[in-house]
Amino acid sequence: MKSEFIADVYHAAAEISKTTGYRPKLGMILGSGLSSLAESYECTKVPYGDIPVLPKPTVEGHRGELYINEDIAICSGRFHYYEGHSPDNVVSTVALLKGLGCERLIVTNAAGGINTGFSPGDIMIIEDHINHLGFNPLMGPNPQIDGTDLGARFPDMSRVYSPAFAAKAQELDGDLKQGVYIAVTGPSYETPAEIRAFSAMGADAVGMSTVPEAIFARYLGMEVGGLSLITNFAAGLGHEELHHDEVVEIGRKAADRMKKLVAGLVDWWLKE
Ligand SMILES: O=P(O)(O)O[C@H]1O[C@H](CO)[C@@H](O)[C@H]1O
Ligand code: HPA
């Protein structure tokens, strides 16, 4: 992350806080097909187009709007590496949420189930991740604001995802899965051989996002909770070919259960 880029994103965030009067403490990033989650909250909507420092999302199921109120800021639309975005741009949503005042972050995504105990429609609490993207968003000079490092050069990643968040999620919905998310670049889906390899590596679900956001959020000192909606059996485990339309469709169908769970987690994390 370049110092100038983060300064620009923080500046944009400060402008949004000034015009809306909001400094929410909780941020959320919505995965493919999950944009309706934002509709549970009465918010001011800011199109990404009005935040010129942000790139434009290009993926179906990612709207490109910031929802904001006094408690929460929701990025409906994320940036993936496979879209051709730089690592800085991939984590620009996290920088924006931090700049708006968020100290806690909920990341959500659509993912393929690698664990053979998982089926489409399941929700997996992200317990840990494997970065298989081939880049880390912290590569490059350690960014500074006013001469001070934004975070540690070698930040600890031994506990990226909050165990308290996971425990609360389990309490709110007794039927959740828990596991390790592996991030790959995409945009091609995996081969069955890759899925067998990822399974041997310890991954339970696979997707093309989230990990850079979580790394960057931890670097900035934010607490992170993560939820994956399993939208399909990973390659080779089901009988169907994989299509993004179905990923988005399953996301939309499961949105009500996700909404209920997320609403409970939001209420709890705002009070905690
Ligand atoms: O991770 P999210 O943004 O939910 O989207 C997932 O869905 C897309 C593939 O269908 C990929 O972008 C993958 O990462
Ligand atoms: O099977 C998948 N692989 C990668 N990303 C995904 N996002 C949803 N499903 C998948």
* pLDDT tens sequence across 102-133: 999 999 999 999 999 999 999 999 999 999 99
Collapse the DSSP code of 68 into the 3-class scheme (helix H, G, I; strand E, B; otherwise coil) and give the result.
strand
pLDDT at 27: 98
Answer yes or no: 28 catalytic. no
What is residue 199's predicted lDDT score, i.e. its pLDDT? 98
How far does residue 199's CA lie from ligand 1's centre (Å)? 19
| Residue 17 · residue 96 · CB < 8 Å | no
Q: Look-up: residue for tokens 């939309």?
A: 252
ipTM score = 0.99
- 216 labeled binding residue: no
- 62 Cα nearest atom in ligand 1: 3
Q: How far is 245 from 135, CA to CA, in rounded Å?
A: 27
Q: How many residues does the chain have?
A: 272
DSSP 181-217: EEE---SSPPPHHHHHHHHHHT-SEEESSSHHHHHHH
Maximum Cα interatomic distance, the chain, rounded to a whole number of Å: 55
Give me the residue label for tokens 């800011």.
46
pLDDT of 162 above 90: yes
Q: What is the CATH number of domain 3-271?
A: 3.40.50.1580
Residue 205: C-alpha distances to residues 112, 126, 194 (Å): 5, 9, 12
Q: Is 222 in the pocket of ligand 2 (CB under 6 A)?
A: no
244 catalytic residue (yes or no): yes
pLDDT in tens, 89-104: 999 999 999 999 999 9
Q: What is the pLDDT of residue 3?
A: 87
The ligand 1 atom at the shortest distance from the C-alpha of residue 208 is: 14
Q: What is this structure's pTM?
A: 0.96
Residue-level pLDDT at 62: 61
pLDDT over 80 at 18, yes or no: yes
Could you tell me the residue ranges of all domains in the chain?
3-271
User: Is a pLDDT exceeding 80 seen at residue 63?
Assistant: no
Sign of the CA dihedral running 194, 196, 201, 207 = positive
What does the mean pLDDT of the chain come to?
94
Q: How far is the CA of 259 from the centre of ligand 2 (A)?
A: 21
What does the CA dihedral 235, 238, 244, 250 come to, rounded to 10 degrees? -140
At 168-196, the pLDDT tens digits run 999 999 999 999 999 999 999 999 999 99
Q: Which residue has the tokens 């549970």?
A: 40
- Please indicate whether residue 62 or residue 35 has the higher confidence score (pLDDT): 35
**pLDDT at res. 240:** 80
pLDDT-based confidence at 253, cuts 50/70/90?
confident
Residue 62 in marked binding region:
yes
At residue 247 the predicted structure's pLDDT band, cuts being 50, 70 and 90, is confident
Least reliable range by pLDDT among 37-41, 113-117, 134-138, 260-264: 37-41
Let me know how many helices (H) and strands (E) the chain has, helices first: 8, 11
Calculate how far, in angstroms, residue 8's C-alpha sits from the geometric centre of ligand 2. Answer: 32
Give yes or no for a contact between 124 and 227, defined as CB atoms under 8 angstroms apart.
yes
Residue ID of nearest Cα to ligand 1 atom 11: 208
Is 142 labelled a binding residue?
Answer: no
Which of 108, 196, 231 for a ligand 2 pocket mutation test, highest count of atoms within 8 Å of Cβ? 231
85 catalytically annotated? no
